[in-house]
Amino acid sequence: MIIIRQQQQHKLASSSSSSLSSSFSLRLSSSDSSIPSVNNSSSSTSSSSSFRNHLLLPINSDLATNKDTNNGGQLQLLRNHFYALRHGQSLANVAGLIASNPNIACTNYGLSDVGKKQAKEAETSDDDSSSQSQSPTGIVIVSSDLLRAKETAQIVADTIHSITIDIRLRERGFGDWDGGNDIHYNDVWKEDAIDPYHTKNNVESVWSVIDRATRCVIDWDKNDQKSGKNLGPGGYYWIICVAHGDVLQILQTPFNKNIDPSQHRSIQHLETATLRSLL
């Protein structure tokens, strides 16, 4: 049985306001199976088939050219409390490789021995400064289907009945850089800072990641309501999204109104096997 401890202070590098730290222990002992899995299909397609095919996931083409999405507004209305949990150290991390292609990463580049230990310990940092007066009604773990994330979710779940896979939590598609040295992350991030819509070298754009990841969060929040579960006054779930460095780094930006998506690297880097509150 895993205990997740919040014990470190999370700071946004771009924020001048002081952040508050919190400390608590959470024992993961059960999961509520009443929350249904989501439909990962979409009627929209990407105008750039290169990274669409790379992800094997339809992308909303509007996000490639238009900032005006209501996803950010909907995030402010979430009923449940969402957490981002990055996978433990993977074999790709050890080898210094970029591994985002699901054709490879769904079956290869799982956790290293260190990564498995990290997942078991699940030491976390969190920027949630609010005090939770009520324990969550239940805990739900939703994971990317890439092997390193799925293995992390399975270890963290421990005695929880199951995890649920949602492919919208896959790592950002790194296009032509996939399989290469991870030093090229910096090349991508430099372009992100200039243009969050860029798809140079067939890389998935920042806005494409925001679109699919925020839709994932919104759908899971709605699933709670569709389940018919009576949470009672103030009742809510903790929904833990187990995923990857870039997708979780980028996902944090719509939760922080003062951070432009192009500046996602200004948020403190999410280390492996680290949990961070989204909302």
pLDDT surpasses 70 at 85: yes
Q: Please tell me the CATH code under which domain 50-277 is placed.
A: 3.40.50.1240
Between 162 and 51, residue with greater pLDDT: 162
3-class DSSP state of 82: strand
Q: How far apart are CA 57 and CA 150, in angstroms?
A: 18
The encoded tokens of residue 175 equal 């296009």
The encoded tokens of residue 252 equal 């944090």
Q: How far apart are CA 95 and CA 73, in angstroms?
A: 39
pLDDT band at 138 (very low <50, low <70, confident <90, very high): confident
pLDDT band at 103 (very low <50, low <70, confident <90, very high): very high
Q: Is residue 105 a contact partner of residue 245, using CB atoms and an 8 Å limit?
A: no
pLDDT surpasses 50 at 250: yes
pLDDT surpasses 80 at 9: no
Residue 42's identity, in one-letter code, is S
Count other Cβ atoms within 10 Å, centred on residue 16. 6
The tens digit of pLDDT for each residue in 152-203 reads 999 999 856 679 999 999 999 999 999 999 999 999 999 999 999 999 999 9
Q: How far apart are CA 122 and CA 117, in angstroms?
A: 8
Mean pLDDT of the region 24-46 = 36
Between 48 and 134, residue with greater pLDDT: 134
Q: How far apart are CA 239 and CA 13, in angstroms?
A: 26
CA distances from 274 to 25, 46, 123, 174, 228 (A): 14, 32, 6, 22, 32
117 CA to centre of own chain: 20
Q: Minimal CA–CA distance to 243: which of 82, 113, 112, 27?
A: 82
Domain boundaries, the chain: 50-277
